[in-house]
Amino acid sequence: MSKIESPSAMLMQFAKWPEAGRVKTRLIPALGVSGALNAHVTLTLAVLDNLCGARLPVQFWWDRAVESVPVDAREVVCDIERRGVMQKVQQGANLGDRMLGALGTGLQSHALALIVGSDCPSVEAGYVHQAVAALQEYDVVLGPSDDGGYVLIGARRVVPHMLDNIEWGTEGVLEQTCERLEELGLSVGLLEPRWDVDEPEDWARFQLTLQ
C-alpha cells in the first residue's frame, strides 16, 4: 500500500513500563511510590483515550521490551489490547534517537507521523488535528509545553540526526530542537502551548480536569 492510499497520519504514544519507583519520580515526594505509579497509569490511559478519540491509527510504543507483563502494567496492557492498538518497542540510546526511529517507521506507511508522551493529557483530539493540519505546511510540527519542552512532535519527513545534541529534560529542549531542525533545512511550525504532568502542581492541575 502506498502512502497516498494509507490513512493520512499515524499517532504514536510513547510510554514507560509502569514500575514502582521508576515512573513519575518527581511525584513521589507528594504521592509516595505507589501513588506516583498510579498517577503514571492514570495519565497513560487518559492520553491513550485522547489519541484514540482522534479517529486516526494509533500505535503504543513502550520504552523497553519485557518477557512478561508485570502486574503494575496489566491495566494499561489490557486497555491497549481491548482497543486493538499495536504495541511496539522504542529503539535508540536516547530520547532523540527513539523518537527519530519511531517517526521514520511511521512515515514508511503513512504520510504523517506524530508522537505524544504519556504524561501529556492536555493533548486532546482537536489538538492532534491541528498538528495534522499544520503538517500540510511544515516539515515538522511541535506542540510546546509550559516547561520548555514539547508535548507533541509530528513530521512529514525526517533526516538523519535531526534530533541530536538536544539536552533532554531541560528548559531548552524546544529551542534547541527548533534550532537543530532549521539548521538541517527543515521547516518548523509551532502549535499553541499545552502542559504536561511532571511536578505535584501539574498533577493537581490534571485532577481539576476530572471534576
Residue 206 corresponds to which cell in the numbers above? Answer: 490534571
Mean pLDDT, range 102-114, rounded to an integer: 97
- 114-145: buried (b, 16+ CB within 10 Å) or exposed (e) per residue? bbbbbbbbbbbbebbebbbebbeebbbbbbbb
Judge whether residue 31 has pLDDT over 50: yes
Convert the pLDDT of each residue in 126-184 to its tens digit: 999 999 999 999 999 999 999 999 999 999 999 999 999 999 989 999 999 999 999 99
Overall pTM > 0.85: yes
Are 103 and 153 within 8 A, CB to CB? yes
The Cα–Cα gap between 121 and 94 comes to 23
Please name every residue paired with 142 in a beta bridge, in sequence order, or none if there are none: 153, 190
| Per-residue pLDDT, 5 | 38
Are 112 and 154 within 8 A, CB to CB? yes
Least reliable range by pLDDT among 59-68, 82-91, 104-113? 59-68
Mean pLDDT, range 192-203, rounded to an integer: 96
| Per-residue pLDDT, 7 | 55
